[in-house]
Amino acid sequence: MVQNGHINFYTHVFSPYCYRVQLALDQAKADSTSFIIDLSAKPDWYATKVNSAGKVPAITYGQKTPPENPVTPPGTAKINESLVILEFLNDLFPEAHLLPADPVLAAQARLFIDTWETKGFEGLRDFFFLYKPSNGADKTLLDALDAVQMRLPATGFAIGEWSNADSAVVPFLLCLDLLLKNDLGSYPKEEGLKVYEAFKSARFARLRKYIEDARAYPTVKATWDGEFQAGVWSKLPRLNRDHVGEIGGEL
């Protein structure tokens, strides 16, 4: 399909939700313009002209306009929520095969995403952001990773070839791996390193190979900078061990 409109992509450098969309845009070779939203000082026009919820990621699709304080004429599509955007890009770029045409494989891709959304995110949230010694957060996290691993085929990506399933889940696994090995989280000091040792064990050999293969995948290799991300995440207030608060979904 010929891309009939231009995509303005509103993002932030540390958000794995935004990275989902970036990977899918790159995979589709979309004509797009990125604009970084300062989450600590969101511009007034963002909520009124792009996403009324004020969160990232979001895209507009239509007439090409500058992304900053954009003109959004009638007919401009405004789309938020990362997984909705991934579905939109799959429909917009069928030749990119962001999801397979085979309905069984497409269902398996969506189930892989659902496993992360229902189990993986809970494990990540409870361990890194809402840690309490009494809530068994380390076990919740490791069991969630087990559930994700069980969805993987013996080799390759989530359904064999790279798809939206990988674009949706890999950003979180990369962040999780980075946070553990850098001991970043609301948990007691060195607790992350203990869980990281468990994550490196034979129990998770298949999942770690999946992460290794994902790092080498062209769209990830060209865009993921672990050292830079570690610096960004280390400054996030919600990872401060003295911080108390909730973490929701998209930012």
Each residue of 78-130: pLDDT tens digit?
999 999 999 999 999 999 999 999 999 999 999 999 999 999 999 999 999 99
**Which residue, 152, 147, 150, 146, is CA-closest to 165?**
152
Residue 149, phi-psi category: left (phi > 0), alpha (psi -120 to 50), beta (remainder): alpha
Residues sharing a CB contact under 8 Å with residue 163, sequence separation 6 or more, in sequence order: 97, 98, 99, 100, 109, 157
CA–CA distance, 163 with 99 (Å, rounded to integer): 5
Residue 3 is predicted with a pLDDT of 83
* C-beta separation of 238 from 248 below 8 A: no
- φ/ψ of 46, rounded to 5, equals -65, -45
Task: Indicate if the pLDDT at residue 240 is higher than 60.
Answer: yes
Task: Indicate if the pLDDT at residue 137 is higher than 70.
Answer: yes
How buried is residue 221: exposed, middle or buried, by Cβ count under 10 Å (0-12/13-18/19+)? exposed
Band the pLDDT of 1: cuts 50, 70, 90: low
CA–CA distance, 249 with 104 (Å, rounded to integer): 28
Residue 251 is predicted with a pLDDT of 55
Selected residue with higher pLDDT from 248 and 68:
68
206's enclosing H/E stretch is helix 205-216
- Any idea what DSSP says for residue 116? I
Task: Indicate if the pLDDT at residue 245 is higher than 90.
Answer: no
Band the pLDDT of 246: cuts 50, 70, 90: very low
Please give the model's pTM, rounded to 2 decimal places.
0.94
CA–CA distance, 148 with 207 (Å, rounded to integer): 8
